[in-house]
Amino acid sequence: MEGLTNPLDLPVAEMAARVRNIDDPLTASELVETSLLRIEAIDPALHAFLRTTPELAREQARVVDARVEAGEDPGPLAGVPLGVKDNIAVEGVPLTCASKILGNYVPPTGATSVRRAVDAGACIVGKTNLDEFGMGSSTENSAFGPTRNPYDLERVPGGSSGGSAAAVAAGMVPLALGSDTGGSIRQPAALSGIVGMKPTYGRVSRNGLVAFASSLDQVGPMARSAADARILLGAIQGTDPADATTRDLPAVTGSGAAELAGLRIGRVEEFSLAGVAGGEPMEAAMGDVHKALEEAGAESVELSIPLVKSSIPIYYIVAPAEASSNLARYDGVRYGHRTSDAGALQALYAKTRDEGFGAEVKRRILIGTFALSAGYADAYYKRAMAARSALRRGFERAFERCDVIVSATTPTPAFLLGEKVDDPLAMYLCDILTVASNLAGIPVMNVPAGQTEDGLPVGMQLWGPAGSEARLFDVAEALAETTGHAYRAPVIPAGGDA
């Protein structure tokens, strides 16, 4: 590592290439030790990790180094430290979903996405914090305490993949896996100044991802750059016999920037933040981005998708309804927490769930159960599903007129810890610009779009039709070259060298 103070600061492709080069002194074991030391120094200030997995990471690193010594290629992620959101199973490592309900549960098998990342050479250094079962937009709903934003320790990192976002932003790991049900990769990526991709529904297996809302959930990459995220998505994508919803889509491969000249950029009227309190920095940033695109020769296309305005009410019927069904399995009988104060079976169920679930999870179970109940399913759930189908068709029509849609990711920059935690509606509206893509099943990614005057990150989204992730990565790289907006390392007070 001559002349290099921290190999974790390298681009992932270069990091892995050096590990694969037997003549280079950088090894997977050195990368893992560097990551673990950085977590030890920085994470006490952030609480991005619920647990580290040093023994597992070191063993995986030894395997990578042994393969290099034997003249084998360990894969495109050779030796790269990886954080995994703690609703994604890693074999033999406790799985909590940031909830008390799972107790000391240890999954007997790992998620397909995790196995594929490890097969590509990644080394898992820990499980990251989240809003309980992925239900939240700030990582304050974790049963084990909130995660803090690396750019301002008094602010949230976003959610629910806030631990993964903070871990990448703070430089503890170059890559992390998150999950996105209504914006849970992109919103924390935006508030934490990194790249996050929600793939097309079905591109990445959900096997081993603890279900929140099964028709919306997707595993995706979080990274410092589009190039890094592309490599991780390329490793974990593909059909899986263990997940019948996976789709045979064109593989995400290649690298490099797209030609912006002639690209049709959609501007959706309903994504405007004009008049939204606190939205001025986001509108200004988006204005600058569109100006840069037009100067680069892109064509601006004005669009309207009216049902986008209804995406929050549609989502908060569909997602809680699916959650109420999925979370019924946590009953204190088969695994996880069981109350010590129960007699009859119904009391066991009720007290176990009351003790194990947090307030937000209970709220969404109640909403979903009501929406599915006799006499109300037709009025709420079925109408929401019909509106969801119409919303999907609206995006299909929009992409007949444009190649990529560009929008802000969040209505405001990162907010203060505690600012919205007692106002569920205000918290739900944090996802006003993200949930539509989950309902439509299309790929969307967040990329950095600058900073506010206070130094808080601003993010923007690139939307594409199903299966267009490769194009989105190409456009993201071209935008970074054109605008100069990119990941900027934070300075973390009293937390070590970030």
pLDDT one-digit tens code per residue, 447-459: 999 999 999 999 9
Report how far residue 413's alpha carbon sits from residue 36's, in angstroms, rounded to the nearest whole number. 30
Residue 2: is its pLDDT beyond 50? no
Q: Is 324 a catalytic residue?
A: no
Report how far residue 308's alpha carbon sits from residue 434's, in angstroms, rounded to the nearest whole number. 10
Residue type, 87: N
Of 2-11, 183-192, 223-232, 274-283, which range is least confident? Answer: 2-11
Report how far residue 308's alpha carbon sits from residue 463's, in angstroms, rounded to the nearest whole number. 13
Please enumerate in sequence order all residues whose Cβ is within 8 A of that of 204, keeping only pairs 6 or more positions apart, or say none. 113, 218, 219, 220, 233, 236, 237, 238, 246
Overall number of domains in the chain: 2
Q: What is the CATH number of the domain that holds 420?
A: 3.90.1300.10
pLDDT band at 496 (very low <50, low <70, confident <90, very high): very low
Query: Are 329 and 408 in the same domain?
Result: yes
pLDDT one-digit tens code per residue, 405-414: 999 999 999 9
pLDDT at 59: 98
Q: Dihedrals φ, ψ of 125, to 5°?
A: -100, -10
Query: Are 89 and 218 in the same domain?
Result: yes
* Residue 491 placed within a domain: no
Residue type, 43: D
Helix (H) or strand (E) segment spanning residue 287: helix 280-295
Residue 17: is its pLDDT beyond 80? yes
Query: Are 205 and 305 in the same domain?
Result: no
404-408/457-463 β-pairing: antiparallel
Query: Are 280 and 133 in the same domain?
Result: no
What average pLDDT does range 222-227 have in this prediction?
Answer: 98
Query: Are 68 and 202 in the same domain?
Result: yes
One DSSP character per residue, 231-254 reads: HHHHHHBS-BTTBTT---------
pLDDT at 426: 94
Query: Are 444 and 303 in the same domain?
Result: yes
What average pLDDT does range 425-454 have in this prediction?
Answer: 96
Of 221, 236, 251, the position where a domain reaches its end is 236
Of 236, 253, 273, the position where a domain reaches its end is 236
pLDDT at 256: 82
* Residue 3 placed within a domain: no
What average pLDDT does range 238-243 have in this prediction?
Answer: 98
Residue 275: is its pLDDT beyond 90? no
Distance of alpha carbon 89 from the chain centroid: 15
Beta carbons of 433 and 151 less than 8 angstroms apart: no
Q: Is 164 a catalytic residue?
A: no
- Quote the mean pLDDT of the chain: 95
Residue 167, Ramachandran bin (φ over 0: left; ψ between -120 and 50: alpha; else beta): alpha
* Residue 497 placed within a domain: no
pLDDT at 3: 43
Q: Which of 35, 99, 137, 184 is catalytic?
A: 184
Query: Are 416 and 306 in the same domain?
Result: yes
Beta carbons of 408 and 448 less than 8 angstroms apart: no
Q: Is 310 a catalytic residue?
A: no
Query: Are 194 and 284 in the same domain?
Result: no
* Residue 1 placed within a domain: no
* Residue 362 placed within a domain: yes
Query: Are 204 and 326 in the same domain?
Result: no
Angle at 280 between CA 428 and CA 302, to 5 degrees: 85
Beta carbons of 487 and 417 less than 8 angstroms apart: no
Q: Which of 29, 85, 137, 179 is catalytic?
A: 85
Residue 255: is its pLDDT beyond 90? no
Report how far residue 403's alpha carbon sits from residue 74's, in angstroms, rounded to the nearest whole number. 36
Query: Are 202 and 280 in the same domain?
Result: no
Q: What residues make up the domain containing 356?
A: 264-483
Query: Are 169 and 105 in the same domain?
Result: yes
pLDDT at 498: 39
Task: List C-alpha distances in Å: 293 to 48, 72, 287, 483.
Answer: 35, 43, 10, 9
* Residue 250 placed within a domain: no
Helix (H) or strand (E) segment spanning residue 363: helix 359-372
Tokens of 232: 């991780």
* Residue 110 placed within a domain: yes
Q: Which of 29, 160, 161, 311 is catalytic?
A: 160
Report how far residue 223's alpha carbon sits from residue 169's, in angstroms, rounded to the nearest whole number. 8
Distance of alpha carbon 128 from the chain centroid: 11
* Residue 256 placed within a domain: no
Report how far residue 79's alpha carbon sits from residue 497's, in angstroms, rounded to the nearest whole number. 22
pLDDT at 493: 67
Tokens of 128: 């990251």
Does the pTM surpass 0.85? The reply is yes
Of 236, 255, 290, the position where a domain reaches its end is 236
From the list 205, 211, 282, 283, the residue with the least C-alpha distance to 249 is: 205
Higher pLDDT among residues 246 and 275, named by residue:
246
Distance of alpha carbon 94 from the chain centroid: 20
Q: Is 52 helix (H, G, I), strand (E, B) or coil?
A: strand
Query: Are 87 and 141 in the same domain?
Result: yes
Of 44-48, 333-337, 430-434, which range is least confident? Answer: 333-337
Percent of the chain with pLDDT over 90: 92
Beta carbons of 466 and 200 less than 8 angstroms apart: yes
